[in-house]
Structure 1
């Protein structure tokens, strides 16, 4: 089941700045592992970003989101939505399986 995540900054830039390196490493690690299919900034940025995650259940995604240094240090929060696809393009189906 895919899980779209939307990151919202909750603190001023000066509070966020020290945690940027750890935050950047967090999605890179989960992208390399295959859990984050599509991490990136929103356009316009609106003080956050978005991720399309899969390969674990909702509780697993919540744990991963809580490990983001931005969240752990209280300068951002994620809004997580779990999506039960009704239709999937055949080319995307292998990417959206639980173990895909």
Structure 2
């Protein structure tokens, strides 16, 4: 399954900043294992970020809950799961 993870700051950006290094390490770990396909900040950045992920919904929820941003209470996740009936050929291979 394909998931869009919306990372929404729950505090001012200045309070998020101390948690950025741990959050980036979390992102890198899940990009390396193939779970995260893309991630980045929203525009404007003060809204938070977004992640495109693949895998089982329950596992994605566990990963989101383990994010240092979520653990510190400086952000919350909204997860939208998509059953991609149509996809670009390059993306289809990643979806399995």
TM-score by length of 2: 0.92
Provide the aligned length of Structure 1 versus Structure 2: 96
Gaps (5+ residues) in structure 1? none
Structure 1 runs of 4+ with >3 Å offset = none
Are residues 1:57 and 2:56 paired? yes
Deviation at 1:89, TM superposition (A): 1.8
Gaps (5+ residues) in structure 2? none
Counterparts of 2:26 and 2:67, CA distance in 1: 6
Give the CA RMSD over aligned residues.
1.2
Deviations 1:24-65 (A, max 9, x none): 1111110011100001112222420100000x2111000000
Name the structure where strand makes up a greater proportion of residues.
2
Counterparts of 1:71 and 1:42, CA distance in 2: 17
Name the structure where helix makes up a greater proportion of residues.
2
TM-score by length of 1: 0.88
